[in-house]
Each structure stands twice: as C-alpha cells, then as structure tokens.
Structure 1
Amino acid sequence: MSTVWDIDEWVEEAAWSPIKRFYPTAVTKNVELPINLVFEHLLKLTEQSKLSLFWEIRCPCCYYTVSPAEGEKFDSGDMLVCPKGHEFELSNENLFPIFEVNSGYRQYIREKKKSPFQGIIRKKLIPAT
C-alpha cells in the first residue's frame, strides 16, 4: 500500500532524472494514490522549496497549450487565442497544474546520490569497540 512517502520518493527520483516538469497525474499513476492526496502533498513540497507550481492554459477546442509572453498575466474571464486560432474564455476548466523540480533541490539530490554512503546518519555513526 502506498503512502505519501512514496510521493517523496517519486519526486526525489524525478530530481535525479532528466524530468524537468510533471503533472500530478504522473505521480498518481506511479504511486497509486488519489489525485487529491498527491496534489496536496506536492503543494507541501512547494512550500519546502523542492518544487515550483505553474499553471498551464489549454485550449478547450484543440488542447494546445497557450503560453503567455514573459510578464504577461491573465485573469479569469479573459479571452485568449490558442496557436491554432481558437478563441476561448479563460476559466478553471482551462487551467492545469504542472510542477517543476527546483534547481537547488535537484542539485542536492544529485550530489547526495553521487556518494550513497556519505549521508548524515553514516557521518554520525560511532564505530563499535
């Protein structure tokens, strides 16, 4: 049976791998936990600066992603045009959460994995006499 620790492990593996961004559904499929539990735990990891949360805007007609220009902000109700030319109103149904592994956390995990027996616990072990 999976636990939130499996989510932590999945995120740690993502930090080690070339994965840059991921959807909560990817985690749900791998750890077999409900999406609401996974999403809440991923939000906690953003509070710990391990992840960043972004919102992807998708066209309801063709599902293409609409990428705002740098510094551009949208509000609910704004009319947008997708790359295929479909005009649509921005609403919660068009927003999809996407998480990104923060570079500092990624670097920490990669350094940690380089020397598996140099962890904090091993450094504090006292040799038997």
Structure 2
Amino acid sequence: MLQRAQVRIARHLEAELLVAHDLPLASYDVLSQLAEAPERRLRMNDLAGRVLLSRSGLTRLIDRLQRDGLVNREACESDARGLFAVLTDAGVARLAEATPTYLRGVRAHFLDALGPDEIGQVRELVARLTGATGAP
C-alpha cells in the first residue's frame, strides 16, 4: 500500500514536471540536492546515495544534465578518482522555475488528501522511519 501511494504520487509529479519544464522527477531531485549542498556541489557517490540511484544510473543522468548545461563535473583535487557534480547557474534557474510546479504537485497529490493532524503524524512517522533505517 505504501509503495502504491509513493508510485502514484511520483507519477503525477513526474508528469507535471515533464509537461511544464521538460524535467524528469529524478533530474529535479538531483538539481534540488545540489542546490542544498555547500557550494552547490556533491561528490558523485554522495549524490547517488541522496537521490537513491545506482552510480551508473546517476552517471547517465548527470550526462544528460551536463548536456543541457544544468550540471558540470569537476575533478576532486584530493582524490584523483573522485568527481563532483556541480550545479550551474542555468541549473539554479531551471530548478527555480520547476519548484513551484513540484510544490503544487506535492500539495495536490499528497498534502490536500490529509488533515492537519494527519500531516503532523506523517511527519513524525517518516522521521522515525528514516532515522531507523539510517537513510539520509
């Protein structure tokens, strides 16, 4: 049941982001994670964990975002094998354009289905579950 709800909400959000901004939900998630990171950059391994993608899946997604000018890759000076994904100014702008659509979708497909007390309960339960599983 939880999985169905998550998939249904994600499908709605994905469709709305694609129609309005030609931006898949996974791309929105990557841009959002980078925007919140110090200096708008994260090591690829850390980013993969935050967006729940495999390293190869993230590599393909970053390739597309880099082609679109939304993200750059930079070498890690302290580890020659390490790479950073860095949000560009164009990525910041695209995220700013897409965020109202994303937030409207979250409200319409999730929050509006719950009462004020239920929202608080969901917040507490999700915090407990993510803390118990060690998720970021």
TM-score scaled by structure 2? 0.47
Task: Compare the two structures and name the one with the higher helix fraction.
Answer: 2
Larger radius of gyration: 1
